[in-house]
Structure 1
Amino acid sequence: MTSYDLTGRKALVTGGARGLGAGMAEALAKAGAAVAIGDVTEDVGKQTAQALRDAGATAEFVALDVTDEASWAEAIPNVVNALGGLDLVVNNAGVEITSLIVDLDPADIRKMLDVNVLGTALGLKHAFRAMRPGGAAGNGGGVINISSVAATIAFPGISGYSATKSAIDRLTRVAAAESGKLGYGVRVNCIYPGLTPTVMGNQLAADCAAIGLFPSPEAAAQAVAELTPQGRLGQVDDMADAVVFLASDAAKFITGAGLPVDGGMGM
């Protein structure tokens, strides 16, 4: 059986300063990968990278605004230089802004499009350029995009978020097809995390209550748990373990796939 050992791999996790991204970075490091934390939040990002180093991992912080082409163009060479290569990009950075459709703010939709869709698209672009033959790293590798169970279900209050996370699913599949067709040697997959009580997940529950969909944040979270066959919310390590699997040689013949990590909620 192929193991999930990532020794010698070099990974970039966007939005890696906190929440799911920090958990994914930690799991990749525990599996043996060297990890770069890419984030706009420099102080927290540096603390996260330092915590990984304190635990014995190779980890660096790289300033990265995923919505900015120039930021990507600067960050990728910095990662390659700092880690000695690049084998994996986890496009995790994302934002969620809750709203009823009748109250949608165009600025909120544009922000989610910029971070969730454009940010992922630019991540794919620069990952491909670095990892394909002749690139700065040039040994192929993998990209894991973080979609959401919101891409597979209809849940009130998250129409804009659902739309952008659905777009990530389509980006994943087209990118996988292009990589294979053009011989890049880069596998591209995504995961659909279920609701997880991170800062973002807790804020979503609070916002759903604030706009009148549920009597309280606790009731919103309970409603999600009741829609989930496993009867609970997700945990950060549930999502992180899935990323490690898709990054490993155990998934070497998997590309263009979306892996639900939602306790069955989106089935």
Structure 2
Amino acid sequence: MVWRADPVDFSKRVDRDAIKGRSVLITGGADGLGYGIAKAVAESGAYVTIADMNETLGQQRQSELTEAGYHVHFVKADITSWESLTLAFKAAIEYSPTHSLDIVIANAGLSGGSILEKAFPKDLDENADLPQPSTLDLNVNLTGTYYTTVLALHYFKKTHSPSDNFKKHLILMSSLAGYAEDTLASTYMAAKFGVRGLWKSIRYQEDAFGFPFRTQLIAPCFVRTKMTESFVDHIAKAGVNVSQVEDVVGPVMRVLCDEEVSGRSLCTVGNKVFDMGDDPAGGDGSKALWKALADEEYFGPGAKGLVRYDEFFRSE
């Protein structure tokens, strides 16, 4: 256990040449946050493999970026399928000029519903048995991330060269829902807490893994993407700051390109970013979260309503 790790130095200049020529796999990279990250990484000179279920959009993204002169390869992949995801990892290694894998960004995810909807479904006959709930959101957000993590560690070690001092790098995309309470998206929250737990269990295990390694967690608040389009305007109208994709891409590129950053969790809210202090000294993220919630500059004047999430979303 690390009592207090060094927080991220946000004043430090980001040298994007640090990942030039490196092999990068991004799940869910055809749209939203994933595509924003994939584009930024490709612009830095990396060889990027986008693994996504949307074949039409994925092929379109590949064409757009390769025509712009970047190294991008699309692979159709279902992250809830071990076989499909394994093939995506092998494709990324094959695409790399050095037949290596250096960076994996486990970004794929989808929004989740509430346990209330599953425990108390509308129009259920009082004499009927409760139907088995879908676990698709858990399978994508947690199981898929777990599969991605296992495969990343395996192929990191398999492609590690003792002559290469570059630290293999795994970034897990979580959410502020992995720190806060959210009744109306409880299955999403459960998955993101699980992703955070997975990250905490591997972040300081470089010696055990047997190769140079570091990992980070990215925990955005609300980001304007297709996944949030059904409610994000309500969030903004209520006075809560909403991030744009580029507000999250910047912090991702910072941790990717600074090898001194290891085992840190970053929260993005609006155009602000802060280190969660997710270690025992920081109250496992609680100190930074409550400090930021109290500061309207970060979360906005409507942020206090987020503490009463159910009331917040049911108010108009």
**Aligned equivalents of 1:152, 1:18: Cα separation in 2:** 25
Pairwise CA distance, 1:72: 2.0
Please give the secondary structure, in 2, of the residue aligned with 1:167. helix
**Aligned equivalents of 2:117, 2:78: Cα separation in 1:** 28
- Counterpart of 2:52, as a letter, is D
Pairwise CA distance, 1:129: 0.9
**Aligned equivalents of 1:27, 1:241: Cα separation in 2:** 9
8 Å Cα contact 2:204/2:214 also seen in 1: no
Q: Which residue of the partner structure matches residue 11 of structure 1? A: 24
Please give the secondary structure, in 1, of the residue aligned with 2:133. helix
Instruction: Confirm or deny that 1:66 pairs with 2:79.
Output: yes
Structural RMSD (CA): 2.1
8 Å Cα contact 1:17/1:44 also seen in 2: yes
**Aligned equivalents of 1:51, 1:154: Cα separation in 2:** 39
Instruction: Choose the corresponding residue for 1:37, options 27, 31, 50.
Output: 50
Instruction: Confirm or deny that 1:121 pairs with 2:134.
Output: no
Instruction: Confirm or deny that 1:174 pairs with 2:216.
Output: no
**Aligned equivalents of 1:175, 1:29: Cα separation in 2:** 27
8 Å Cα contact 2:47/2:95 also seen in 1: no
Instruction: Confirm or deny that 1:47 pairs with 2:56.
Output: no
- Counterpart of 1:253, as a letter, is E
**Aligned equivalents of 2:25, 2:143: Cα separation in 1:** 17
Please give the secondary structure, in 1, of the residue aligned with 2:169. strand
Please give the secondary structure, in 1, of the residue aligned with 2:21. coil
What do the CA deviations read for 1:26-49 (whole angstroms, capped 9, x no partner)? 011112211111011111111111
Question: What TM-score, normalized to structure 2?
Answer: 0.71
Q: Which residue of the partner structure matches residue 79 of structure 1? A: 92
Instruction: Choose the corresponding residue for 1:187, options 203, 206, 214.
Output: 214
8 Å Cα contact 1:173/1:257 also seen in 2: no
Pairwise CA distance, 1:2: 6.2
Pairwise CA distance, 1:242: 1.5
Q: Which residue of the partner structure matches residue 165 of structure 1? A: 192
**Aligned equivalents of 2:203, 2:30: Cα separation in 1:** 27
Instruction: Confirm or deny that 1:146 pairs with 2:159.
Output: no
- Counterpart of 1:221, as a letter, is A
Please give the secondary structure, in 1, of the residue aligned with 2:218. strand
Instruction: Confirm or deny that 1:259 pairs with 2:263.
Output: no
Tell me how many residue pairs correspond in the alignment: 243
Please give the secondary structure, in 1, of the residue aligned with 2:181. coil
8 Å Cα contact 2:112/2:186 also seen in 1: no
Q: Which residue of the partner structure matches residue 103 of structure 1? A: 117
1:228-243 matches, cutoff 5 A: 232-243=241-252
Please give the secondary structure, in 1, of the residue aligned with 2:138. helix
Question: What TM-score, normalized to structure 1?
Answer: 0.84
Q: Which residue of the partner structure matches residue 244 of structure 1? A: 253
Pairwise CA distance, 1:137: 5.3
Please give the secondary structure, in 1, of the residue aligned with 2:83. helix
Unpaired segments ≥5 residues, structure 1: 206-216
Please give the secondary structure, in 2, of the residue aligned with 1:62. strand
What do the CA deviations read for 1:85-143 (whole angstroms, capped 9, x no partner)? 211110000011233x42127534x11221111111111111111111xx045565101
Pairwise CA distance, 1:255: 2.3
Higher alpha-carbon Rg: 2
What do the CA deviations read for 1:158-210 (whole angstroms, capped 9, x no partner)? 1111111111111112122334433232211110112111100113x1xxxxx
**Aligned equivalents of 2:207, 2:193: Cα separation in 1:** 22
